Copies of this chain bind each other. A is one copy, B any other.
Amino acid sequence: MSHGELYHSMNKWTMPLIANIILFAVMQCGFAFLEAGAVRSKNSTNILIKNLMDQFVAGIAYWIFGFPFAFGNGNDFIGYTFWATYELEETKLALFFFQYVFAATAATIVSGAMAERCEFIAYIVYSILITGFIYPVVTHWVWSDNAWLTAGMDYTFNNETVTIGYKDFAGSGVVHVLGGIAALVGASLLGPRKGRFHKGSKTVVPIRGHSVPLAALGGFILLFGFLAFNGGSQLTISNAGDGEAISLSVVNTIISGSMSALVSLIINRLTGTSKWSLLTTLNGALTGMVAICAGCNVYHPWAACVVGFFAAIAYKLINTIVTSLYIDDPLDAVAVHFGGGSWGVIAVAFLHRTDGIVYNWDQASGMALAWQLCGLVTITAWTAVTSVLMFGILKLTGLLRVAPELEAKGLDIPKHGEPAYPTEAYGHGWEEKLAK
């Protein structure tokens, strides 16, 4: 059943949904502070205004052409009605709002990977393109009335005909694989921050963010935003059994996130610096929650625990690969979102509580796995191609990266005129009173 159909019956049930959506919208704030804490103070205003802007850019771009591309009537590739919500039934406005927030989230993921060296204008341009075109086309394939990936095909096994298609409940693939791949392409074409890698001596130099409390604030907000994200993806509460599905989604999200956090903490303690790292634990939890998105409504809780366990492995694996390729991703956005998201898409085929491979290893479950892989490859390929074009053109025209002198000194003052912590605003004149 498509998102669009579900919304037709939404009349009096809209309000709690809207409340839930607003809560989920808080994720935008979560990403902003996770990223702000993870950059140096000289680029704090820059990353905050980027996160602020993509809501506004998406607010206009998704309204004018993003939503039409995604949920307008059209062909299998793209939609082309409801420009600027023209002639859209009012009952579909809640769908518009819900999807708008997803679109803004996809763009925000990218900003973390490209932090501290990307031009502001380039940011505006790619935010418009991701929220207005790249992301909407994928949602058209997966969540619209014309969704060929979700609709799948009919198969006859043992004289029984079943329909099998791509399953992605809350967007492990649609939102997070897409965001993660765009982040990977963007960070690769942009190049690492100055001083991040010494390629001669093959050393990786950690560049610390300026504030663990700000990053933790963002993380806390994101954790609870994910609960709303996954619970709210049920989209309606007017059908029997929806209450249970929502509860199950929320509980599975907690269990997967917790497991992934604990395993990530332990992996980090046993390797590398041998410390109890807050930031690794937080990224681990987020990866677990990203991974559970695709099937949070169809797992038994023990399966959520398994999803979380391997999400931690996926995070560590992708993180190691990205670093070894000398790609500089200040937020580990690729490891969290592409790592968690791609594992999450695959996991559905194995752990779905009625059709999963671990329950029924037969032709049907094998074909379901093939469709999950098909969805994963399709989304990855589409995002990679469009991102290479987009970031490539920006790079060739010299709009992608700030000048080396600006990068060294920081973007806040020359670009925005607003240092995050202006020196002259600090200090008390009462030091003598405080002296002991």
A-side interface residues toward B, CB under 8 Å?
10-23, 25-26, 28-29, 32-33, 36, 40-42, 44-45, 48-49, 52-53, 55-60, 63, 84-85, 90-91, 93-94, 96-97, 100, 120, 207-214, 216-217, 219-221, 223-224, 227-228, 231, 234, 237-238, 240-244, 246-248, 250-251, 254-255, 257-259, 261-262, 265, 273, 275-279, 281-282, 285, 301-302, 305, 408-410, 412-431, 433-434
Contact = CB atoms under 8 A, between A and B. Distances in A.
B416 A277 contact: yes
Given A12-B237, A25-B224, A417-B275, A214 B213 contact: yes
Given A20-B19, A408-B429, A428-B409, A56 B418 contact: no
A216 B14 contact: no
Contact of A418 (B20, B243, B277, B301): B277
B213 A36 contact: yes
Contact of A410 (B18, B36, B221, B429): B429
Nearest to A275: B417
A26 B427 contact: no
A234 B15 contact: yes
13 contacts: A11-B244, A29-B217, A32-B220, A40-B425, A44-B212, A49-B276, A53-B265, A59-B258, A60-B259, A93-B250, A97-B254, A276-B415, A410-B429
Given A63-B301, A93-B248, A419-B434, A210 B277 contact: no
The 4 closest A-B pairs by CB, nearest first: A59-B258, A14-B243, A409-B429, A275-B417
B425 A251 contact: no
Q: Chain copies in the assembly? A: 3
Nearest to A94: B247
B14 A19 contact: no
B278 A52 contact: yes
A261 B56 contact: yes
A425 B52 contact: no
A290 B382 CA distance: 40
Contacts of A434: 413, 419, 422-424
A428 B413 contact: yes
A306 B275 CA distance: 49
B219 A52 contact: yes
B275 A240 contact: no
Nearest to A258: B59
B211 A12 contact: no
A428 B55 CA distance: 28
A404 to B, nearest CB: 12
A278 B49 contact: yes
Nearest to A16: B16
A11 B250 CA distance: 15
Given A22-B224, A246-B18, A421-B212, A301 B85 contact: yes
A221 B23 CA distance: 11
Contacts of A262: 56-57, 60
B426 A40 contact: yes
